[in-house]
Structure 1
């Protein structure tokens, strides 16, 4: 018998242990990867999904007739079939806000590592090469113009940090933001042509697939640096590899990849690329906060009928 004080939820894939502890303290938890009987699925009212664990869509929704809400562990939610969710009048939430500062910190760190060639310099010391001579002079962040593709919460947090580096900032986004003082360009290609650093921080999904393509990379130019902390799908990876190999751009710093965790060997072979294993929000304190927000969204829905951070497509 289901306990009304502990609504039944389905966890679609394993989550960090500290997040599972929070969910299990508040809800009756069913774990999809362990197998769930149809009678248990019939009692489920909420789902915990994750950008770290793969897609969630109609095939699963159809098995849960009483599903009301899908709470996602992550600010991006391209892992959720939103067309199917909207058709079923499901509330979908994300963890907007709680990871902005952490991802912005990582973005600036990745930019500095890429421009100043910090990983290569560290390997130079470890490989015992320093006694034979100093490390080669690197490019600089000085005098650069930084373009930010996507000026949401994370993009603004990145811009605030970069303002302290005395670099010029511009941006591109689909919508005007009258309260933003930095200049907005009419297209990604126009922004790339005006800047020599391009930081990508837009949602994934069909609408942004290969937004950064060969034309944008050509516009960025031979002194240009690409930083992608968004989704791997946003960048045409084959075009990027070609640009790095041909030195038609200077360098790239990448935290995300088209088919992660698999990274093309051709990309790994590029000495002008810095690659990270999708760690933008991956600190203990931030992942704990994300787990609490996901659980808080479920709790708020079941107790008040209102979620805390519904995604824009959600309709109550």
Structure 2
């Protein structure tokens, strides 16, 4: 019996090839495959932040599954997949706890001047006569945009640090232990720190715009561990340079990788290169989930982690 054929989409997924080839025939999009090879593909393994072209879907008439290795799947047109009868799966909540850890780390790094203090010391600027004072985490009002697995994990950690927590999302979630703000603007106005943990799609692109940034204000800190496209990055940069926003701590950008020159003269920022969920442990969980999704799809049984909109 012929083994199912998989297409692996991005070079960053190349380390998965030996694992996948243990059970499947595999071709790589970057090599690239011939039209005849694409016509034999049964499932695609994809990094969900990358757009999945409709033309590629057209070239694979046997395609039955887009299995995103990543937790995010915003690059996949779910309506188009549904029209074509293509199932979509993702990495579930494999890295939610790690992303939440990173969000807390970014908050602390900025608010307690950890990155700036390191640079200050290394530059020989630490003197006995002067000591920089920072802001406590305790009692800092935390607003969370998007209360999925990551948002909840951030809230739990913040609560342990005695930070008041509120949140906003487009849909209420009764039963959560934290109050939902009436609007995103109201959440920003009532927060010292605003963490973006929402899932991105075209409906919320740029929702953290100049107005929300102004509501957070000159003493506020914006933390983004979700997707760069959720923030109007030019408005953010302008507000930081003008002092209309107190600071930003960012793990995601639009586009990626971000141009370092863009941030060279931007004050009060802490930046990391989209590493929030990139732990060895989370990657292992995503690989396990991927293999489970593939096996279940080809066995005709429920997948462990279909995307919620397709379940």
Shift of 1:17: 5.1
1:150-169 deviation line (CA, Å, top 9, x unaligned): 00011101111111100100
Q: Does the CA contact (< 8 Å) of 2:103 and 2:276 recur in 1?
A: yes
Q: Secondary structure of the residue that 1:30 maps to in structure 2?
A: strand
User: What are the equivalent positions in structure 2 for 1:115-194 lying under 5 Å apart?
Assistant: 115-131=111-127, 134-194=130-190
Conserved? CA contact 1:212–1:234, under 8 Å? yes
Structure 1 residue 196 and structure 2 residue 192: aligned? yes
Match for residue 39 of structure 1 among 36, 40, 50: 36
Matches within 5 A, 1:1-316: 3-4=1-2, 6-16=3-13, 18-51=15-48, 54-131=50-127, 134-263=130-259, 265-314=261-310
Tell me by how many angstroms 1:7 deviates. 1.2
Deviations 1:124-154 (A, max 9, x none): 1222222575552223323211000000011
Secondary structure at 2:43 match in 1: strand
Q: CA deviation at 1:73?
A: 1.7
Query: Following superposition, which runs of at least 4 residues in structure 1 exceed 6 angstroms of deviation?
Result: none
3-state DSSP class of the match of 2:229?
helix
What are the superposed Cα offsets for residues 178-235 of structure 1, whole Å, 9 maximum, x if unpaired? 1102100122111111111100011122111111011111111221110000100000
Q: For 1:216, what is the secondary structure of its paired residue? A: helix
Distance of 1:72 and 1:24 partners within structure 2:
17
TM-score (norm 1): 0.93
Call closer, same or farther: CA 1:93–1:258 in 2, change over 3 Å: same
Deviates more, 1:304-313 or 1:237-246: 304-313
CA contact (8 A) 1:57 1:84 kept: no
Distance apart, 1:39 and its partner CA: 2.7
Structure 1 residues 174 and 261: CA distance shift in structure 2, 3 A: same
Partner Cα separation in structure 2 for residue 35 and residue 243 of structure 1? 44
TM-superposition CA deviations, 1:257-292 (whole Å, max 9, x none): 111112363433223011110001111121122122
Q: Which ranges in structure 2 are unaligned for 5 or more consecutive residues?
A: none
- TM-score, reference length from structure 2: 0.95
Q: Please list every run of 5 or more consecutive structure 1 residues that lacks an aligned counterpart in the other structure.
A: none
Aligned length: 311
